Structure 1
Amino acid sequence: MVSTKYIMSYGLAFFEGKDMDKLRQKALKGWHLKRFRFAGYELEKGECEDVIFSIDYRTLQPDEKSEYFEMFSYAGWTHVCSSHDMHIFKAKKGAVPIYSDVESSRDKMVRLAKSLRIAVAFFVGSAVISWLMMTLTSGFVQNISKWAFQISYIFTIPAIMTYMATYYHKWKKGIDK
């Protein structure tokens, strides 16, 4: 019998709620989140449980981690997994949401946008540099630049769309600034 499986993410910046609900539905069937995987999640088979999931975006220093996770624990949330600045928690159904007010929702979107801003700047910069190299050179360097541009373009467009989604969510929730 298979004890682990992979499921795709809908895209946290666009459909965070849908992803968290998908993880809840899988937990109801006995599939529990184990860790983040590329563009999705790894689940492991276990007992069925009725839990809800929530994600927080926060950069933590090594000495801050235990206090951070302990704070969520006091509120009834259990840390499930982390990847870079993303941390997923679970709690019994009916627990007080992690983001229950406008201010905390705004802070969450600001933290997400900040980390995305760095990625977008990197990808846009590499696309511009490789495009310039591709148009200003010839021969072998131009061919390498063409490949570099195509690869950077593949990452640049989704990064920009994800960054824009954070601003859409801020606007939709009425949490501008």
Structure 2
Amino acid sequence: MPSTKYLMSNGLAFFEEKDMDKLRQKALKGWHLKRFRCAGYELEKGECEDVIFNIDYRTLQPNEENEYFEMFSYAGWTHVCSSHNMHIFKAKKGTVPIYSDVESSRDKIVRLAKSLRIAVAFFVGLTVISWLMMTLTSGFVQNISRGAFLITFVFTIPAIMTYTATYYHKWKQGIEK
């Protein structure tokens, strides 16, 4: 039996709670989150445990990491893995959630939207540039531009959808900014 397996994410911007519950269900069966991996999670086989998972979105400077993880540790949360500005924690069932009040939930959504804005602008810019090159050139350059356009387009659409989801969550919670 393999000691690791891959679990596809439903999309954290859309179904964060569903993903965290899936990780909990897997932990109950002895599959533990090891790390983020290409639109999903890598799990490793171990002992069954009844834990809950929570995610925080925060860009950390190298000198902030220890204090940040200690703060969660004092609240009963254990850092599991991080990727870029996403950090997943686990705790025993019944531990107070990381975002237990409306204000902290709003802050989390605002931080997520801010970091996504940069990614969306980057992908939209690349898509527009490759589209312009594809339509204004010919021959070999046009063929390369067409390929670049298709690749950037594949990344741009999910990025825009994810960014739109953060605005939906902001609207749902009544966040002004």
Question: Given the two structures, how large is their TM-score scaled by the length of structure 1?
Answer: 0.98
Q: Once the two structures are superposed, what CA deviation does each residue of 1:127-148 show, in whole Å capped at 9, x if it has no partner?
A: 1001111111111111111111
1:30 corresponds to:
30
2:45 corresponds to:
45
Matched, 1:106 2:110: no
TM-fit CA distance, 1:169: 1.1
Structure-1 separation of matches of 2:62 and 2:24: 29
Q: Percent identity?
A: 87
TM-fit CA distance, 1:3: 0.9
Structure 1 segments of 4 or more deviating over 2 A?
A: 173-177
- Aligned amino acid, residue 63 of structure 1: N
TM-fit CA distance, 1:126: 0.5
TM-fit CA distance, 1:175: 3.1
Structure-1 separation of matches of 2:172 and 2:88: 23
Task: Determine if contact 1:102/1:175 at 8 Å carries over to the other structure.
Answer: no
1:123 corresponds to:
123
Structure-1 separation of matches of 2:51 and 2:173: 25
Give the CA RMSD over aligned residues: 0.8
> Which blocks of at least 5 consecutive residues in structure 1 are unaligned?
none
Task: Determine if contact 1:58/1:111 at 8 Å carries over to the other structure.
Answer: yes
Structure-2 separation of matches of 1:102 and 1:87: 20
Matched, 1:151 2:151: yes
> Which blocks of at least 5 consecutive residues in structure 2 are unaligned?
none
TM-fit CA distance, 1:79: 0.3
Q: Once the two structures are superposed, what CA deviation does each residue of 1:6-59 show, in whole Å capped at 9, x if it has no partner?
A: 110000011000000000000000100000000100011111111100000000
